[in-house]
Chains A and B, each alone.
Chain A
């Protein structure tokens, strides 16, 4: 190929080794053409303007792209526990000190609480701080925990494990809540205090000043058709400018993803690791109902190397309701793993089935959650903004509680922002304010101490004995030594890099759903109430349309068709008959973010769809 006389010996050796490298080490991702994202044989999948910019698109010539802009003091992205706590605290401080503050919160769900999903067993300490009179105000904490059970499941049996005081799983003093209802209630309190809440409007873009600091956000455009062209109803989103923008998008937020890159916030921390949580709410037979009971299990159906487990909480809100679910760590290696089906088959375990027999399922949902803890905390502030809640990730993994720390981070953000905004002698280098005090205050607070003390529990599950090794580690180093050991264990790395090729793994045989206890995916998705305006570009965007078939399907047998809890990704035979293609059913998406996290090629980029779309959870 290369005439020997043309190159020196060294050059030839170089070229030979490069060819070897290309063949053996670089995935096909680099072999695909880089200048066109879809070849002639792969049908075009992605049409979103984040992949195909509109200023180069002839269909957008002459379309008015001006945006209406408005000024606020603080803009908060996301009306979850963290965002709303921040908004409420800001208004409380403003009221106490007689200052005027315009606080705007944008939220992609059509109503506050509709995209909230959590177990949830919460510590009321932070709520007590925010609203000491929460009981009189009618906060929906109706179910104090009365008993705590923990068990290790084998295929047929259950080994009970005692929950001693001091173990992270001990829930004395906590409440079982339907977090969606608590978030709705927080929304009502916020509105009463004068916070401007805008549900149904998603923050789609971060805006920057010329000096590089964050200027605010812009909401999503509407009226773009499925193929990316403008419709008659096209209207630009609106710009909301603020002195400080607080980002509380929850686990793996899409704007936070951009901010990490832009401001290099993850330079000194480990990559975040995640799990997917699937949840259902059931109305059960009254005789089986034990209000206040909290049950957790580990073990079957997962093996000791796959982190995960179940929860089953008995609510006390009138009807005999139970909230139950299953969590699977997303660092699993077998691409045939299907978290949804693991959840469905867990319900058939002899110690779980009796509770559900005769009952009726009334809700379903799924969401990714953080597992990285202390080691994965990024830098929290940047010029013009800061991160709160599960977005950076303050969840205490062994306790499986993140709401109290998310709310605390929101409150601390509000306090530091408020003191900066009301400081009359404020001198700022950048137009968007810098609030490094937020991170300093958090580091000195109980949130940091709590996360530090449990930092080694999750990584200790990566050893030879898997989850059981982790339990032993917890017993010794957490229960006895309170997390004071001088070392900090590392995580395994990016979740997306953990999959082994399909040919090296065994497919898993899952039982068929029986329609009474276990169900199929599509009827579950229908129960989530999810929907999106169908005529819009799919919001699951692919950087390269060829990669799913060439890489994900070829090497990993298409793991996205298994890990998506909503059936968005399907590999179907092409109409022309020669091979498969990826079909993206974007309307089914429940905004869990698992695909963005676990895609082995990191080719899927979840962007926010038109506001108002997504699941319609009611008290999940």
Chain B
């Protein structure tokens, strides 16, 4: 076991910003809009750094896939305590079509290349809300997965993961190497303070192309259109049950 943790971080539009659909309906306006690290990715980075601080892991590598600006996101991860960063350069049309399948292929290739024992990612990104990357990565690597983790602890040569599921909490024990996806209550991420940002400027970020990892990025999905959700219609108050039934019949619902 090498004790290396690979953490995936994604640069997304900040959660407090109001999204605007592009006039040509091909996507959302991103130019000049405030971006930040996906909140679940912050939790993932925090967990990885805590594992290293507890001396259970030796090195934390932060990875991000995207255009030049992703380097800022990797720097934030480095300021939070990651040791080095890898920027997988994807831009233009390829970046617009980048989805969980492509990212998980990249993560799997990197995990093998860096000989990682653990891959931690956020459970989902707040822009795509796919909740697929962690799971697909585990499948491609044929590694066990502990998803929606609200607590992670080392148990012998494996991990004990407390999962948040619909019915409550589920405890699973998985062998390493493994993939874990971070849920909200896993930890409270630390701040990236200024002295750490300054130190992070000296840490290495390696640049790599997907082709170098043997990953081809063609998407099986084609985005037809991106539109605003329909304007919410105001409701109608009815006086009696008879009225309600009549209205439902008239609208064709009944």
Q: Which A residues form the contact surface with B (CB < 8 A)?
A: 68, 70, 110-111, 113-114, 180-181, 184, 198, 201, 219, 222-223, 231-233, 235, 237-238, 283, 319, 362, 526-527, 529-531, 616, 618-619
Selected contact of B195 from candidates A70, A113, A283, A618, CB within 8 Å: A70
CB pair A222–B34 under 8 Å, yes or no, is: no
CB pair A222–B17 under 8 Å, yes or no, is: no
B190 at interface, CB cutoff 8 A: yes
Selected contact of B188 from candidates A113, A233, A527, A531, CB within 8 Å: A233
Q: Mark B187-217, 1 if CB is under 8 A from A, else 0.
A: 0111101110110000000000000000000
CB pair B198–A618 under 8 Å, yes or no, is: no
B33 at interface, CB cutoff 8 A: yes
A362-B20, A526-B18, A529-B14 known; A198+B34 contact, CB < 8 A: no
Residues of B within 8 A of A237 (CB): 193-194
Residue of B nearest to A319 (CB): B23
CB pair A184–B32 under 8 Å, yes or no, is: yes
Selected contact of A529 from candidates B18, B31, B188, CB within 8 Å: B18
Residues of B within 8 A of A531 (CB): 14-16
CB pair B18–A527 under 8 Å, yes or no, is: yes
A184-B32, A529-B18 known; A233+B194 contact, CB < 8 A: no
What are 17 A-B contacts defined by CB distance under 8 Å? A68-B195, A110-B14, A111-B34, A111-B35, A180-B32, A201-B194, A233-B188, A235-B190, A235-B193, A237-B193, A237-B194, A238-B193, A527-B18, A529-B14, A531-B16, A616-B16, A619-B32
Q: 10 closest pairs, A vs B, by CB?
A: A531-B16, A616-B34, A529-B17, A222-B191, A238-B194, A618-B32, A68-B195, A201-B194, A616-B17, A235-B193
Q: Taking A110-B36, A362-B20, A616-B33 as given, write out 15 further A-B residue pairs in contact, using a Cβ cutoff of 8 Å, ordered by the A residue number.
A: A68-B195, A114-B34, A180-B32, A184-B32, A231-B188, A232-B188, A233-B190, A238-B195, A319-B23, A529-B17, A529-B18, A616-B17, A616-B34, A618-B33, A619-B32
Cα A111 to Cα B188 in complex, Å, equals 23
Cα A181 to Cα B33 in complex, Å, equals 11
Cα A273 to Cα B112 in complex, Å, equals 64
CB pair B34–A235 under 8 Å, yes or no, is: no
Interface of B is mostly: loop
Q: Mark B5-41, 1 if CB is under 8 A from A, else 0.
A: 0000000001111101001000000011111100000
Interchain nearest-CB distance for B162 vs A (Å) = 20
Interchain nearest-CB distance for A529 vs B (Å) = 4
Residue of B nearest to A178 (CB): B32
Residues of B within 8 A of A222 (CB): 191, 193
CB pair A529–B34 under 8 Å, yes or no, is: yes
Cα A68 to Cα B32 in complex, Å, equals 33
Cα A519 to Cα B142 in complex, Å, equals 54
Residues of A within 8 A of B35 (CB): 111
CB pair A110–B34 under 8 Å, yes or no, is: yes
Residue of A nearest to B189 (CB): A233
Interchain nearest-CB distance for B73 vs A (Å) = 12
Residues of B within 8 A of A283 (CB): 23
Selected contact of A198 from candidates B18, B23, B36, B194, CB within 8 Å: B194
Selected contact of B197 from candidates A180, A181, A198, A618, CB within 8 Å: A198
Residues of A within 8 A of B16 (CB): 529-531, 616
